Amino acid sequence: MSLTDPVPNPPRPIEAKVKAATAGGAGAAAVITPAALWLIDALWFNGAAAPDVPLPLVGLVGLVATGACAFAAGWWAKHTARPDLGRS
């Protein structure tokens, strides 16, 4: 293969729904999960002391918040048209 040969499979752009779901999941992990854990600690686990939220609950809250936000962001993002795929 020489340098003048065309690239057999040129890279395709990342779809908008994938970008939105990634941003939604990262935002949930960075902002929503800590805020939800702070609220849970303040309401049910004596918020004046050191955080006493059990570790399995921390994991569950993180899983649900990240998954829900990633799904919602991907759902509401605009669809990317892919005319290059064609039908076979």
Task: Convert the pLDDT of each residue in 71-81 to its tens digit.
Answer: 999 999 998 88
Domain ranges of the chain: 18-76
36: nearest Cα among 13, 14, 59, 19: 59
- Which CA distances in Å does 37 have to 9, 25, 26, 66, 80? 45, 16, 16, 13, 35
In the DSSP assignment, the letter for residue 34 is: H
pLDDT bin (cut points 50, 70, 90) of residue 66 is very high
Q: Cβ distance 54 to 66 under 8 Å?
A: no
Cα–Cα distance, 18 to 74 (Å, whole number): 7
Could you report the per-residue pLDDT of 11-20, keeping only the tens digit for each?
A: 778 899 999 9
